[in-house]
Amino acid sequence: MFRVASETVRRLRRTGILLAVAAAMLGTLHWTAGQTDPFQGAEKALTARVAEYVRLRLTDDWVALYAMTAPEQRTAVDLAAFLESYGHGVLKVAKLEPVATSVDAKTQSASVRMNLDAELVPERLPAAFRSGLRQPGEGGLRQESDFELRWKWQDGTWYFAMDQEIVDRAGTMEKSVVPPIGR
């Protein structure tokens, strides 16, 4: 009888240990299922955000593009300075498309290589640049090139980064009130 009781205790212990392990695993699964990854869906959101960027570039809507820049960069670079740097309409974009995307979940950042097919619009250049511009023959002002567009995931939204040179320059200049060229 003692031996039967001893065997029963061993079985209960094994079953108890297995039940404890199973309960712990279920608890962990339940806890992780309830957690949300702040970066979840970020790649799909980036695709949509890049498509919006392309649409705004094709329509030359630089005010809306400014709203797509990182909030801390908008604090450093006001709209007028942004438009002076980017929004002249100097390039008439014929085609703009992403060709490669690299997402870093650890830093919550991305790099999108874009292919740009655009034509230079000389009359939108500042007069100082226009005077020294050598006009090539037919179609010579149209070029195709690639450039990198950097993005940062912040508070569930992708923001593209302005060139650091513009952010740095804005920090050393007085805020501009002069309307940008061509606007």
Phi, psi of 155 (to 5 degrees): 50, 40
Of the chain, the percentage scoring pLDDT greater than 90 comes to 44
Are residues 42 and 67 in contact, defined by beta-carbon separation less than 8 angstroms?
no
Output the pTM of the full model. 0.69
Q: How far is CA 40 from CA 20, 50, 147, 156, in A?
A: 31, 17, 27, 9
Q: How far is CA 21 from CA 8, 17, 122, in A?
A: 20, 6, 73
pLDDT, tens only, 44-59: 999 999 999 999 999 9
C-alpha gyration radius of the chain: 28
